[in-house]
């Protein structure tokens, strides 16, 4: 169907591979002024918080929450950045500032906590995420690798390097990163989700279905996983199965272009044109952004259906 090709745009707009030598994670890299906040007094002994993989790594409380959403930089179509589920409250406050785009306040908190968390992979992952949100991919890459230097097989920065690779159009490296992060972070859903999205980009529908099905076995109500699996079925031409999955979501989700447009198309394909128009009409068109062209194509199809 000619409408299925653009479906990928709703799932992709936006780590095991080692980055190039010029972005090796160490304090010897980068301009001196990047660390101008480090003073002589900072070298006074401060009790350092040791890394504990049980308390600081993502464990995936998939039974009680929409875990992909809580880990996410954004909803579909961007691949997901991975946080850590448990961390010091101050670090969470720093990350909150970064998500609110108050980057100076966020970085200030991380700088203040440097001596306590310098050996924490989760700390450096937070710092890198803040720079990613700021759009500074060079520093984000530097600090993701710094996180990996503390713990080589720490899943969050591996996944997040994959997000950067994908944003750079280096999908093969992104694929390797997502696979590696999925292997070393057995309970982490984010790299698996990103892997499924990348499969859909290249129309590897069967592979994507396997990934999203596994995610739904962990959490049957996860919105992103449901949307991903439903879109997989829609892309292979099984609109009936897609409608069944989309129907498990709510009107709150249908108002989002990344969900509602595909659901409307699926309804139209099974002959429910009235319902398709209702869903399409519920979408918040003020938030269409890059979906505007696809929305108009589906609207034309739905409006012309009898």
pLDDT digits (tens, 9 = 90+) for 16-60: 333 333 333 333 344 434 444 445 544 455 455 544 444 443 333
Looking at residue 89, its pLDDT comes to: 77
Tokens of 263: 């659901």
Q: Residues 305, 276: contact at Cβ < 8 Å?
A: yes
> Domain 16-202 is classified in which CATH homologous superfamily?
Tetratricopeptide repeat domain (1.25.40.10)
Looking at residue 32, its pLDDT comes to: 39
Burial class (CB in 10 A: 0-12, 13-18, 19+), 282: middle
How remote is the C-alpha of 230 from its chain's centroid?
18
Q: How far is the C-alpha of 239 from the C-alpha of 242, rounded, in Å?
A: 5
Question: Among 274, 267, 228, 225, which residue's Cα sits nearest to residue 244?
Answer: 267
Looking at residue 20, its pLDDT comes to: 39
pTM (global) more than 0.85: no
List the domain boundaries for the chain. Answer: 16-202
Give me the residues of the chain with pLDDT under 70, please. Answer: 1-80, 83-88, 305-306
Q: Residues 159, 188: contact at Cβ < 8 Å?
A: yes
Looking at residue 74, its pLDDT comes to: 27
């Amino acid at each position: 169907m000619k409408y299925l090709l653009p479906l990928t745009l709703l799932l992709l707009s936006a780590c095991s591979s080692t980055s190039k030598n010029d972005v090796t994670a160490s304090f010897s890299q980068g301009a001196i002024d990047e660390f101008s906040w480090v003073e002589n007094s900072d070298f006074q002994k401060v009790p350092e918080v040791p890394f504990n993989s049980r308390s600081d790594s993502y464990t995936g409380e998939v039974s009680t929450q929409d875990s992909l959403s809580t880990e996410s930089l954004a909803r579909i179509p961007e691949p997901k950045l991975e946080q850590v589920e448990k961390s010091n409250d101050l670090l969470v406050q720093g990350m909150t500032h970064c998500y609110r785009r108050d980057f100076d306040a966020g970085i200030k908190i991380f700088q203040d906590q440097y001596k306590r968390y310098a050996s924490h992979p989760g700390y450096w992952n937070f710092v890198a995420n803040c720079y990613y949100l700021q759009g500074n991919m060079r520093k984000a890459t530097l600090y993701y690798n710094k996180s990996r230097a503390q713990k080589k097989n720490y899943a969050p920065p591996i996944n997040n390097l994959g997000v950067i690779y994908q944003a750079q159009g280096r999908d093969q490296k992104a694929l390797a990163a997502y696979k590696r992060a999925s292997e070393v972070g057995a309970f982490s859903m984010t790299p698996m989700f990103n892997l499924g999205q990348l499969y859909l980009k290249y129309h590897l529908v069967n592979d994507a279905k396997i990934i999203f099905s596994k995610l739904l076995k962990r959490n049957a109500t996860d919105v992103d996983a449901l949307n991903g699996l439903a879109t997989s079925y829609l892309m292979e031409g099984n609109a009936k199965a897609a409608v069944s999955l989309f129907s498990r979501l709510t009107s709150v989700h249908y108002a989002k272009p990344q969900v509602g447009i595909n659901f409307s198309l699926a309804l139209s394909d099974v002959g429910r044109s009235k319902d398709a128009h209702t869903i399409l009409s519920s979408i918040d068109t003020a938030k269409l952004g890059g979906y505007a062209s696809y929305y108009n194509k589906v609207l034309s199809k739905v409006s012309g259906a009898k």
